[in-house]
């Protein structure tokens, strides 16, 4: 009986000792944005004591949960069109720009170059071995093993998958016809495994030899994965670096009149597989003002924080547009 009493007392005292009222906001969705939101929410908490609890569950979940009113904001890499936003009573704005890399695990081969032809072949399942001619053609000074390519993709409904397949659709007619851009794909290649979240894919690539998959730059970098140098739209081979992402990002057309709807992958120059990540906030949500406060803090004061983790922060002009958008929507 003393055990029970002690427990009850313990529970009681904890409840008493709860922190003074601080804002508590729940968000979920894109795992692509997770490293950024985590960095921001940590700083926000340390500076203001307000809690922003973001769980990476995939863009599909982010869209669904915020539409259903289960969370205060959703993270998605797949933007929603204005009429959809209106129907769901949501507002949308970009928070960061990032890149999706081809991370791979082939021992002894760093700086692998992949042409559009090679990428298309691997994705469509027509190229199955690492020492295929199409891959060898661009990597003449490297010894490629005769091993099957293990493709790692997402198991959950992913905005990263969407952005990636958007890029593939623009880059390859057959992919566009056969599959298109989706959050969940029936991948043509047969030798494949799935990971949950960008982090899951990164972990899977790390632990499986001869694997290749699409991972956001932040997670690939954190995991120390090799990232392929790929052929871009103007047929130059581009290394995935913040510089090449920025070059690509300048072509992004983020317009508040369209609720910033934009798919920025496969731009004319720069690294081709880039995407913006967006926040979805309910227009009439009870915590929406808190959410906006958080993002305003993040974008105006801590924007550079996410560059360290591997994102391209939104340019000043866009941030001003976003603030105007918030005001226009009555949330600022």
Partner 1 sequence: MRLFMNRLFLAFSTVAAAIGLFFLGWILYTLCAKGLAGLSLHVFTHDLIEGGLRNVIIGQLIMSGVATLIGIPVGILAGIYLQEYGGNSKLTEFIRDLSDVMMSAPSIVVGTFVYAIVVMPTGHTSGWAGILALFILMVPIIVRTTDDMLKLVPVELREAGIAIGASKYHVTMNIVIRYAKAGILTGILLAFARVVGETAPLLYTSGSSEFWSTDLTGTFPSLTVSIYNLATMPDEEMVQLGWTGAFLLTTMVLIINLLGRYASNKTRR
Partner 2 sequence: MEILFKKLTQLSASLLFVILAATTAVLYLSAKPAIEEFGAGFLFESRWGVEEQVTMDGDMPIGVTESGVELSDDDFIDDDDDDFISDDDSEAGSGSREIYGALVPIVGTIFSTLIAMLFSIPIAMGIAVFLSEIAASSIAKPVGVAIELLASIPSIIYGMWGLFYFGPFIANIFGGNTVSLLVAGLVLAIMVIPFMAALSRDAISTVPDMLKESAYAMGATKLEVIKDVVFPYAKSGIIGSIILSFGRALGETMAVAFVIGGVYQFASKVTDPTNSIPVVLANSFSESSGMSLSVLFYLALILFILSFIVIGAAKFYFLRRK
Binding site for partner 1 (CB under 8 A): 4, 7-8, 10-11, 14-15, 18-19, 24, 26, 41-42, 45-46, 51, 53, 55, 68-71, 195-197, 199-200, 202-203, 206, 219-220, 222-223
Span interacting with partner 2, options 77-85, 101-109, 309-317, 318-326, rule CB under 8 A: 77-85
> Whose Cβ is closer to partner 2: residue 64's or residue 329's?
64
Nearest to 76 by CA among 324, 326, 260: 260
Query: What string of DSSP letters covers 110-176?
Result: -S-EE-HHHHHHHHHTS--BTT-HHHHHH-TTS-----B-EEEEESS--HHHHHHHHHHHHH-HHHH
Give backbone dihedrals phi and psi of 281, rounded to 5 degrees, phi first: -130, 135
**Rounded CA gap, 187 and 318, in Å?**
36
Q: For residues 193 and 76, is the Cβ–Cβ distance under 8 A?
A: no
> Whose Cβ is closer to partner 1: residue 1's or residue 186's?
1
CA atoms within 13 A on the CB side of 312: 23
Site string for partner 2, 252-281 (x = CB under 8 A): -----------x------------------
Residue 25: CB minimum distance to partner 1, A: 10
Residue 35: CB minimum distance to partner 1, A: 9
> Does 233 help bind partner 2 (rule: CB under 8 A)?
no
> Does 193 help bind partner 2 (rule: CB under 8 A)?
yes
> Does 86 help bind partner 2 (rule: CB under 8 A)?
no
| Paired tokens of 292 | 């906006």
Residue 52: CB minimum distance to partner 2, A: 18
Q: For residues 94 and 276, is the Cβ–Cβ distance under 8 A?
A: yes
Residue 52: CB minimum distance to partner 1, A: 9
- Bridge partners, 229 (sequence order): 113
> Whose Cβ is closer to partner 2: residue 79's or residue 240's?
79
**The length of the chain, given as a count of residues:** 332
* DSSP assignment letter at 258: G
Binding residues (CB under 8 A) for partner 2: these are 28, 57-58, 60-61, 63-65, 67-68, 78, 80, 84, 87-88, 150, 155-157, 166, 169-170, 173, 176-184, 186, 192-196, 204, 207-208, 263
């Amino acid at each position: 009986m003393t055990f029970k009493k002690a427990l009850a007392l313990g529970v009681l005292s904890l409840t008493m000792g709860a922190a003074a009222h601080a804002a508590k906001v729940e968000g979920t969705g894109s795992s692509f944005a997770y490293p950024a939101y985590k960095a921001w929410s940590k700083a926000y908490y340390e500076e203001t004591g307000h809690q922003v609890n973001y769980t990476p569950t995939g863009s599909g979940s982010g869209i669904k949960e915020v539409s259903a009113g289960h969370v205060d904001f959703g993270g998605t890499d797949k933007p929603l069109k204005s009429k959809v936003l209106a129907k769901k009573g949501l507002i949308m704005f970009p928070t960061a720009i990032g890149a999706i890399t081809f991370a791979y695990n082939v021992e002894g081969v760093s700086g692998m170059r992949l042409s559009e032809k090679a990428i298309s072949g691997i994705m469509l399942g027509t190229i199955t071995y690492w020492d295929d001619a199409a891959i060898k053609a661009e990597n003449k000074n490297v010894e490629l093993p005769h091993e099957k390519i293990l493709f790692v993709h997402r198991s959950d409904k992913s905005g990263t998958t969407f952005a990636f397949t958007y890029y593939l659709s623009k880059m390859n007619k057959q992919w566009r016809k056969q599959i298109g851009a989706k959050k969940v794909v029936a991948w043509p290649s047969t030798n494949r495994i799935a990971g949950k979240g960008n982090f899951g894919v990164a972990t899977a690539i790390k632990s499986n030899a001869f694997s290749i998959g699409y991972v956001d730059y932040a997670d690939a970098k954190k995991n120390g994965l090799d990232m392929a140098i790929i052929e871009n739209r103007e047929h130059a081979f581009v290394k995935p670096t913040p510089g090449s992402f920025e070059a690509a990002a300048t072509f992004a057309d983020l317009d508040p009149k369209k609720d910033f709807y934009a798919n920025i992958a496969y731009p004319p120059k720069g690294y081709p597989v880039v995407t913006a990540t967006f926040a979805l906030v309910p227009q009439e949500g009870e915590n929406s003002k808190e959410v906006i406060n958080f993002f305003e803090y993040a974008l105006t004061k801590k924007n550079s924080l996410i560059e360290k983790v591997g994102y391209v922060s939104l340019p000043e002009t866009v941030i001003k547009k976003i603030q105007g958008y918030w005001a226009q929507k009555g949330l600022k």
